[in-house]
Amino acid sequence: MKICRQALYVQIIDGIGTVRACGWAGYYLLGNLRDNTMSEVYNSEAAKRFRQTLIEGTYDYCNEENCPYMANNILESQLVEIEKIPEYPEIVSLAYDRRCNYHCTCCISRCDDKMDPVVQEKVEREIRAALPYVKTFSANGLGEFFVSDSMMELVSEWKPEEIEGAKFELETNGSLLNEKNWKKVENIGDADLSVTLTVHSFEEAAYQYLSGTKMKISQMEENLRFVKKLREEGKINFLEIAMVMQERNFRTLPDFIDRCLNEFGADKVRVRRFLPEKAMDENIEWFFDIRNPLHPYHQEYLEVMKHPVFNDPRVFKWTGEHLSNRGELPAKANYKVLKDLFLTENVGEKLSDYFLSQGYRRIILYAITDIAKAIVKVLQNQPVKIEYIYDRNTCLGEWEGLEVRKPLYKDLKKTKGPLLVTLVPRHGEMEGFLRHQGYEGEILCLEQILENVKFQS
């Protein structure tokens, strides 16, 4: 069978050993290592369901904006031919210890808590059981590897020389990647070792602000020179320097890329997009996202992106040419709609009349928001009924008396609709998501509908 390589992947993401599938497929959880064995988790019903969507090509849980293969239309390169799913995952990513010495502006991953020692011991035991089967090992997508004594210990026990084609993928902020720490895990140099090192800027003020550190950039540059030496000696086989492009650092991107490639010997520079993920207030985050055409610096961003350095094949733009479709500043967009909902006289009746005039006796909401709550209230006792609500980021089964459903491909494909998007500031993004998930019915824009109905007597 042909399947996305990430079907063979698990990531252990927290202090109870929660295991998730591909990180670009959101938080799709397979189980946890506190209560189960690695084999049980990897072969759980949830895991089988996830893999089935990859086999059938519906990619229900995959997110086009997050997945670089989908965003760049190169998913085919990620497909592998396998006979059957093995008992243990072949690709294991360690991210259960999420402590980090940085506080990046874009981060929703880090935490300061140490693990419960008993649970930690169980989680480590389960990972040890899988080690002989692990062909590709990685750490740490969600915290800083060199802060975690547990992960460094586990990795130091791995024997890549005994595994054919062993690979190690190290993700680090680089602040502690010096000779002393390298010595503790230098066995990874026996694998095909790729290192992704994230530096947000070489300009000290921007670097410190975006990373939430007081470390001098000169220290980071020294570490980068050490890493370059490892690359030249062949201990590192592939060096990628990554950054998250945002309002504070986009202007210096061409110079940043040039230094990564020519001074620090990077094989690749990965320019990641800033994704508002509620690491900060959503309105502040909105201002970091210069890919949004509504951002005041967006034109300047487009000019920067015309620089010839972006044509260098060693530069990887995470989202290709895609722009952000996050829409208007959330506070502004929400305020406008909530104001209309609160201040328009008989708004429930007017909305109901509008839906009936369009032939809609029933509508479906998307998604759980304060605006959805207001809609539920104003449509109470009106002839138009809300059937249920779709929301992809909740574990609730019921909300405000409505059934909550997950927007899965197989269900959306059959949904007649219409769907009223209540995540108003992100209407465009939600529309894109729903179409991608196979929904073919009407998608209603609440802001436009309120504009239509509010002046009607």
100 touching ligand SF4, by CB under 6 A: yes
Please identify, using beta-carbon distances, which residue of 144 and 247 lies nearer to ligand SF4: 144
Return d(Cα 283, Cα 398) in angstroms, integer: 28
Please identify, using beta-carbon distances, which residue of 60 and 328 lies nearer to ligand SF4: 60
Please identify, using beta-carbon distances, which residue of 64 and 400 lies nearer to ligand SF4: 64
94 touching ligand SF4, by CB under 6 A: no
24 touching ligand SF4, by CB under 6 A: yes
From the CB of 221, what's the least distance to ligand SF4, in Å? Answer: 17
Long-range contacts for 384-389 (Cβ within 8 Å, ≥24 apart)?
A: 384/351, 384/352, 384/355, 384/356, 384/360, 385/361, 386/362, 387/362, 387/363, 388/364, 389/364, 389/365
Please identify, using beta-carbon distances, which residue of 23 and 348 lies nearer to ligand SF4: 23
70 touching ligand SF4, by CB under 6 A: yes
Return d(Cα 306, Cα 267) in angstroms, integer: 21
Which span sits near ligand SF4 by CB under 6 A: 86-94, 102-110, 251-259, 270-278?
102-110
Of 63, 130, 48, 126, residue with least CA distance to 90: 130
Which span sits near ligand SF4 by CB under 6 A: 19-27, 88-96, 248-256, 441-449?
19-27
362 touching ligand SF4, by CB under 6 A: no
Return d(Cα 348, Cα 353) in angstroms, integer: 9
Which span sits near ligand SF4 by CB under 6 A: 62-70, 148-156, 300-308, 375-383?
62-70
Beta-bridge mates of residue 283: none
CB distance 446 to 337 below 8 Å? yes
288 touching ligand SF4, by CB under 6 A: no
4 touching ligand SF4, by CB under 6 A: yes
Residue 61: DSSP 8-state: T
Please identify, using beta-carbon distances, which residue of 15 and 327 lies nearer to ligand SF4: 15
The two counts, helices (H) then strands (E), for the chain are: 17, 18
Return d(Cα 219, Cα 255) in angstroms, integer: 19
Please identify, using beta-carbon distances, which residue of 24 and 316 lies nearer to ligand SF4: 24
Percentages helix, strand, coil for the chain, rounded to the nearest 5?
40, 15, 40
Which span sits near ligand SF4 by CB under 6 A: 66-74, 156-164, 224-232, 396-404?
66-74
From the CB of 104, what's the least distance to ligand SF4, in Å? Answer: 3
Residue window 105-134: x/- pattern of binding to ligand SF4, with contact defined by CB under 6 A: --x-xx------------------------
Please identify, using beta-carbon distances, which residue of 170 and 341 lies nearer to ligand SF4: 170
Name residue 168's amino acid: F
Residues counted in the chain = 457
CB distance 309 to 258 below 8 Å? yes
10 touching ligand SF4, by CB under 6 A: no
Which span sits near ligand SF4 by CB under 6 A: 17-25, 288-296, 327-335, 371-379?
17-25
Please identify, using beta-carbon distances, which residue of 66 and 382 lies nearer to ligand SF4: 66
CB atoms within 10 A of CB 29: 16
Segments in 105-203 forming alpha helices (H): 117-130, 149-157, 179-184
Stretch 405-424 residues interacting with ligand SF4 (CB under 6 A): none
Return d(Cα 311, Cα 306) in angstroms, integer: 9
Of 174, 283, 169, 287, residue with least CA distance to 237: 169
Task: Pick one of 11, 41, 43, 59: the residue that binds ligand SF4 (CB under 6 A).
Answer: 59
Please identify, using beta-carbon distances, which residue of 122 and 167 lies nearer to ligand SF4: 167
| Binding footprint of ligand SF4 on the chain (CB under 6 A) | 4, 6, 22, 24-25, 54, 59, 62, 67, 69-70, 75, 78, 100, 102-104, 107, 109-110, 143-144, 173
